[in-house]
Amino acid sequence: MKRHPKYPLAGPALVIAAGVATMLLVAGCAVSPPTIPTAKQVDLQRFMGDWYVIGNIPTRPERDAFNAVESYTLQPDGRIDTRFRYREGGFDGPLKTMDPVGRVVPGTGNAVWGMQFVWPVKAEYVIVDVDKDYGLTIIGRSKRDYAWIMARTPSIPEPAYEAAVARLKGLGYSVENLRRVPQRWPEEQAGASK
């Protein structure tokens, strides 16, 4: 390697600095083991498909979401393509979508995913509960900052919703900010064209 006469160690120092920066970047992108309980085993094939968001402790973009639906598609390489779609501000509001990519964290029974919205950062996504019929699920995070109650149908019986809220409380969530997501299907034609 040819060295600069004024900075003879610039080449190796630059290589070492780049290596250290890469290691720190990769370490910062890994999803740590969760401190929230997880579902014991998740059958990924059964988990794929559409889930209506019934209630959530919302992230900023979701605070005024209507008709929110999360859809998962398992790819041959193990990636989970995700499409989150919702109407902003009302049933006839503009359609918004996000397309993060999920990856299962090995050794977690498929219950912990790294959800990547922006490279290289992966957000923790924990399936804390899924019923035996794969009709209702609760997604949480170790920070207990956001949560999602989702179902295969746009509405669920009130006792099922109350049980899901109680489960979140039992996991250490403060549920004052839990929001019922308005769902009305089918969407009206005028709203669908916006």
* Structure confidence at residue 31 (pLDDT): 58
> Comparing C-alpha atoms, which of 136, 134, 108, 177 is closest to residue 125?
108
* Structure confidence at residue 117 (pLDDT): 80
Helix (H, G, I), strand (E, B) or coil at 68: strand
* Structure confidence at residue 193 (pLDDT): 43
Computed from CA positions of residues 29, 30, 35, 36, in that sequence, does the dihedral angle turn out positive or negative?
Answer: positive
Residue 109 CB contacts under 8 Å (≥ 6 apart), including other chains: 38, 39, 40, 41, 42
What are the tens digits of pLDDT across the range 54-88? 999 999 999 999 999 999 999 999 999 999 999 99
- Residue 18 burial by Cβ neighbours in a 10 Å radius (0-12, 13-18, 19+): exposed
- Give me the tens of pLDDT residue by residue for the chain, a chain 194 residues long: 455 455 444 444 333 333 433 333 333 345 578 899 999 999 999 999 999 999 999 999 999 999 999 999 999 999 999 999 999 999 999 999 999 999 999 999 999 999 998 666 788 999 999 999 999 999 999 999 999 999 999 999 999 999 999 999 999 999 999 999 999 999 975 444 44
Q: Is the pTM of this model over 0.95?
A: no
